[in-house]
A = this chain, B = another copy of it.
Amino acid sequence: MTEIAQPAPPDGTPPPPVTDSLGEVPVAFQDPGYRAAVVDLIGAIAYGEISAFDRLAEDARLAPSLADKLALGKMATVQFNHVEPLLARITALGAEPMQAMAPFVKPFDAFHAKTAPSNWLEGLVKAYVGDGLAADFYREVAAFLDADTRDLVIASLVDSGHSDFVVDRVRRAIERDGRVAGPLALWGRRLMGEALSQAQRVVAERDSLAALLAGGVDRPGLDLAALGRMFTRLTENHAKRMAELGLAS
């Protein structure tokens, strides 16, 4: 296992003990590598939500109607509302939230820069597919976490059922004019490709996250075969979402 830097407060004092909902220190956190990995993971999720908020708010400007604008604004707000509990957890783990998010600014910003929607429908498909993919991925990773962190991560994935709105709008657009389906299907494939490429870069650069997936004394790990199955599940779920939209994947 690669050596992992322990996140510490700027003044160099050791981080406070982490307690779970029963006030006990989970065994997992006795491993400084695990603590670093959880800080990284929560930092990534938090910045992911902030950047999704940012992009959804911008994409809302492409909305053809006030009702559509409102729906996308609502999706943006739901994402943002998840951020505070995540940052509070990073602080409780003895790390500084802005520092914890910093390594993920570039990859998320790069993803969004490379996948800026050129129209309203592309924005909708991106919101639906991107959100779904991120949620699937974090849900997979959550299996390797202590119970409290897992609950926090799962809670941050709640989307308040706005998916129905996206599915409805995209399907109706395709019904009106079938020619939009081809380019949107290509768009979905590009989104998946960019997301995977950024995710791989993140895991490659952050040893702690790679170590998290490898498991620990009291936590299950993931061998190469299991990792392959995980990617298969992610791809299958992506295909299901595209089908839901009426698009080939």
Q: Please report A residues at the B interface, Cβ cutoff 8 Å.
A: 47, 50, 53-54, 57-58, 60-61, 65-67, 69-70, 73-74, 76-77, 80-81, 83-84, 98, 101-102, 105
Contacts and interface: CB of A to CB of B under 8 A. Distances in A.
Contacts of A53: 57, 73, 77
Contact of A66 (B57, B69, B73, B98): B98
Contacts of A81: 77, 81
Nearest to A60: B54
**Main secondary structure on A side of the interface with B:** helix
Nearest to A53: B73
**Copies of the polypeptide in the assembly:** 2
The 8 lowest CB-CB distance pairs between A and B, nearest first, are A57-B57, A77-B80, A66-B98, A77-B77, A67-B98, A73-B80, A53-B73, A66-B101
A40 to B, nearest CB: 16
Given A53-B73, A54-B61, 10 more contacts: A50-B69, A50-B73, A53-B77, A54-B60, A57-B76, A66-B102, A67-B98, A73-B80, A74-B84, A81-B81
A84 B84 CA distance: 21
